[in-house]
C-alpha cells in the first residue's frame, strides 16, 4: 500500500511538472542538421527541441513533449546551428571617411544596424580579432545582435596594425602590444614596459575576457618588406604561453614567407588565406601550386593549424578598385539607400581613388585583373587544403580595409559561396561555419552544434544547405539566445531608413 502511494505521488509530481512548467520555445518536426566534425553532419528527423532560458534543454523524439510558451511547427524546414564568423572587425563602418561632416552620424547608424545585418545572414556569433572588452560591449548594446567575442591584438612597435603610433600611444590604443628588447623604452615607465613583456599581455587579455590572442606576421604588401616584424623567438614563446593558459593563438599572415614564420611559431589559427605567392610571373593556366606554397600548406595540414581562407579580402579589394563596380541588389538587404548614395558620391569613393594609385600607367581593367589573379591563388590554396583534410574555418574579415564592397553579414554569405566555388563540399562548409569555429576558439561547450546545454543560437532554413550553398540565403528565422526572429524583420527596409 505504502509503495503504491509513493508511486502515485511520484507520478503526480512528474505529471504536474509536465503540465505546469512550460518551456520558452519548442520546435517540432524540423530536419536537424548537426555538424559532428570536419566532414560529418548528422541528419536527425522526427525530433523536437526544447529551449529554456536561452539554452537547448532537450533534443528528443519522445511522444510526450513539454508544453511551451511558443511552439513552432518546422515541418520541411532545416534546423542548423547559427553561423560563427570568426574574423570580423566591428568598430568602424566600412569605408567611412573620418573627415566627412556626417561621419559621426553615419558611424552611429552603422553601429545600430550592424548586429542585425549579421543576423539577417544567419551569423549568430562573431569574433573580432582586434578588439577589447569595451568594444564588444558597445557592439552588443545594439540588440538584437550576435554573441560577440574578441581577441587581444599583439602588434609590435611600428609593426603591422601599429604603424605610426608612438610608444606611448601604443600603450593606450593597443593594450596588449608586445614590447621587444630594443624598442625605445624611454617613452614609457618601467612598469608599463613590464606590462607588455613576457606573458603579461596574455594574462591581462585573458582576465579581460579575450577568446584568443592575435599575432602579426606582415612585413609589407605584395613584394614589399618594410614593416618591422615580431622576433621569431618571442612569437614562439607567446604561442606557448597562450596555450598554457588556454588561449588559442591566431596569426595575421597571407604571404608565403609570412605564413611559414607563423607555422614555425606554432600558431593555432591562420587568419588569412595564402594568396600572396611572391612569384609574380607564375603561369596561372597550369593550376599548379609552386613548391614553396605547397610546402607551407603541407605544414599547415601536418600541424593541423585551423585556416580561415578569407577569400572576400581580395574579392572586395578587386571590386573596390573596379571603376565599373555597382551596388547590386543584394547590398540593399543590409545598406540603407542614403548610405549607398554616399558610397557612390565623390567623398564616398575615396578608397576607390586610393586603390587606383601607385600602379603606374596600368589600365583599370588590368589592375582589377591582377587583383583577381591573386584572389584565384587563394582559391587554389584553399582547394589543396580542403582535398588534404585541413581544418577550415568560416572567417570573412569584414571589412579587411575601408572597402565599402565588404558589408556585415553579406560578406559572410559571400565567403561561404566563394569557399564552395573553390571546391569545399557542402557538409564540410557547414562544419567550417559551425563546429570547427567553435572548437578552434574553445567555444564548443556553448556553440557549434544542436545539443543539450548549448546556447540556443540556431537557424531555421527553408532549403537544405547540404544540397545548395544558396540555402544560407534562404533563412526563415534566426534564433538568438532562445529568441526567435523572423528574417524578414531584420532586412534593412524593415529597420527603417537609417
The footprint of Zn ion (CB under 5 A) covers 397
Answer whether the bond into residue 144 is a cis peptide, omega within 30°.
Answer: yes
For Zn ion, give the closer residue by CB, 322 or 397: 397
For Zn ion, give the closer residue by CB, 163 or 240: 163
For Zn ion, give the closer residue by CB, 183 or 397: 397
33 Cβ contact partners less than 8 Å away, ≥ 6 residues apart: 41, 42, 43, 44, 78, 79, 80, 430, 450, 464, 465, 466
For Zn ion, give the closer residue by CB, 132 or 449: 132
For Zn ion, give the closer residue by CB, 127 or 450: 127
**How many CB atoms within 10 Å of residue 78?**
23
How near is the Cβ of 23 to Zn ion at its closest, in Å? Answer: 39
Burial state string for 60-72 with b = 16 or more CB within 10 A and e = fewer than 16: eeeeebbebeebb
Runs of H (alpha helix) within 189-345: 190-194, 200-207, 232-244, 256-264, 291-302, 312-321, 337-344
For Zn ion, give the closer residue by CB, 126 or 179: 126
How near is the Cβ of 221 to Zn ion at its closest, in Å? Answer: 14
For Zn ion, give the closer residue by CB, 312 or 473: 312
How near is the Cβ of 173 to Zn ion at its closest, in Å? Answer: 17
β-strands 23-28, 48-52 pairing:
antiparallel
How near is the Cβ of 87 to Zn ion at its closest, in Å? Answer: 6
How near is the Cβ of 226 to Zn ion at its closest, in Å? Answer: 20
**How many CB atoms within 10 Å of residue 302?**
11
How near is the Cβ of 305 to Zn ion at its closest, in Å? Answer: 17
Answer whether the bond into residue 399 is a cis peptide, omega within 30°.
Answer: yes
For Zn ion, give the closer residue by CB, 167 or 351: 351
How near is the Cβ of 400 to Zn ion at its closest, in Å? Answer: 6
Nearest to 356 by CA among 372, 340, 344, 368: 368
How near is the Cβ of 395 to Zn ion at its closest, in Å? Answer: 8
How near is the Cβ of 388 to Zn ion at its closest, in Å? Answer: 25
Q: Which residue is nearest to Zn ion (CB)?
A: 397
How near is the Cβ of 15 to Zn ion at its closest, in Å? Answer: 55
Distance (Å, whole) CA 484 – CA 480: 7
Using left for φ > 0, alpha for ψ between -120 and 50, and beta otherwise, residue 76 falls in left
Long-range contacts of 326-334 (CB under 8 A, 24+ apart): 330/410, 331/407, 331/410, 332/492, 332/493, 333/120, 333/410, 333/491, 333/492, 334/113, 334/117, 334/120, 334/121, 334/407, 334/408, 334/409, 334/410, 334/492
For Zn ion, give the closer residue by CB, 218 or 397: 397
Using left for φ > 0, alpha for ψ between -120 and 50, and beta otherwise, residue 401 falls in beta
For Zn ion, give the closer residue by CB, 268 or 397: 397
Long-range contacts of 10-18 (CB under 8 A, 24+ apart): 18/64, 18/66, 18/67
Amino acid at each position: 500500500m505504502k509503495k503504491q502511494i509513493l508511486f502515485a505521488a511520484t507520478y503526480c509530481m512528474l505529471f504536474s511538472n509536465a503540465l505546469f512548467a512550460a518551456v520558452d520555445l519548442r520546435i517540432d518536426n524540423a530536419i536537424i542538421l548537426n555538424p559532428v566534425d570536419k566532414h560529418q553532419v548528422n541528419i536527425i528527423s522526427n525530433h523536437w527541441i526544447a529551449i529554456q532560458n536561452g539554452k537547448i534543454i532537450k533534443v528528443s523524439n519522445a511522444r510526450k513533449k513539454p508544453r511551451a510558451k511558443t511552439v513552432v511547427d518546422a515541418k520541411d524546414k532545416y534546423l542548423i546551428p547559427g553561423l560563427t564568423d570568426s574574423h570580423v572587425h566591428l568598430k568602424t563602418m566600412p569605408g567611412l571617411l573620418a573627415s566627412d561632416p556626417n561621419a559621426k552620424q553615419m558611424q552611429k547608424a552603422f553601429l545600430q544596424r550592424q548586429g542585425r545585418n549579421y543576423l539577417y545572414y544567419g551569423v549568430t556569433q562573431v569574433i573580432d580579432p582586434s578588439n577589447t572588452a569595451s568594444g564588444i560591449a558597445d557592439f552588443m548594446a545594439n540588440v538584437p545582435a550576435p554573441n560577440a567575442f574578441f581577441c587581444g591584438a599583439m602588434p609590435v612597435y611600428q609593426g603591422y596594425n601599429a604603424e605610426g603610433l608612438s610608444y606611448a600611444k601604443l600603450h593606450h590604443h593597443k593594450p596588449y602590444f608586445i614590447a621587444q628588447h630594443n624598442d625605445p623604452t624611454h617613452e614609457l615607465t618601467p612598469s608599463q614596459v613590464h606590462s607588455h613583456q613576457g606573458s603579461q599581455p596574455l594574462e591581462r587579455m585573458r582576465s579581460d575576457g579575450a577568446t584568443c590572442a592575435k599575432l602579426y606576421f606582415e612585413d609589407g604588401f605584395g613584394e614589399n618588406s618594410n614593416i618591422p616584424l615580431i622576433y621569431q623567438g618571442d612569437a614562439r614563446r607567446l604561442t606557448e604561453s597562450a596555450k598554457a593558459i588556454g588561449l588559442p593563438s591566431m596569426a595575421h599572415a597571407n604571404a608565403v614567407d609570412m605564413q611559414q614564420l607563423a607555422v614555425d611559431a606554432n600558431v593555432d589559427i591562420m587568419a588569412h588565406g595564402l594568396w600572396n605567392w611572391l612569384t609574380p610571373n607564375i603561369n596561372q593556366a597550369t593550376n599548379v601550386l609552386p613548391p614553396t606554397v605547397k610546402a607551407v600548406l603541407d605544414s599547415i595540414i601536418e600541424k593541423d593549424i585551423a585556416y580561415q581562407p578569407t577569400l572576400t579580402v581580395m574579392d572586395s579589394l578587386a571590386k573596390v578598385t573596379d571603376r565599373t563596380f555597382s551596388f547590386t541588389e543584394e547590398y540593399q538587404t543590409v545598406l540603407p539607400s542614403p548610405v549607398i548614395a554616399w558610397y557612390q558620391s565623390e567623398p564616398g569613393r575615396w578608397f576607390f581613388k586610393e586603390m587606383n594609385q601607385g600602379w603606374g600607367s596600368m589600365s583599370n581593367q588590368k589592375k582589377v585583373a591582377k587583383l583577381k589573379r591573386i584572389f584565384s591563388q587563394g582559391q587554389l590554396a584553399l582547394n589543396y587544403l580542403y582535398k588534404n583534410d585541413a581544418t577550415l574555418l568560416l572567417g570573412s574579415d569584414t571589412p579587411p580595409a575601408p572597402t565599402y564592397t565588404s558589408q556585415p553579414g553579406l560578406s559572410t554569405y559571400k565567403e561561404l559561396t566563394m569557399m564552395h566555388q573553390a571546391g569545399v563540399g557542402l557538409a564540410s562548409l557547414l562544419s567550417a561555419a559551425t563546429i570547427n569555429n567553435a572548437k578552434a576558439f574553445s567555444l564548443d561547450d556553448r556553440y557549434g552544434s544542436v545539443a543539450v546545454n548549448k546556447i540556443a543560437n540556431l537557424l531555421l532554413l527553408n532549403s537544405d544547405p547540404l544540397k545548395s550553398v544558396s540555402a544560407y540565403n534562404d533563412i526563415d528565422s534566426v534564433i538568438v539566445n532562445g529568441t526567435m526572429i523572423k528574417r524578414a524583420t531584420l532586412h534593412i527596409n524593415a529597420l527603417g531608413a537609417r
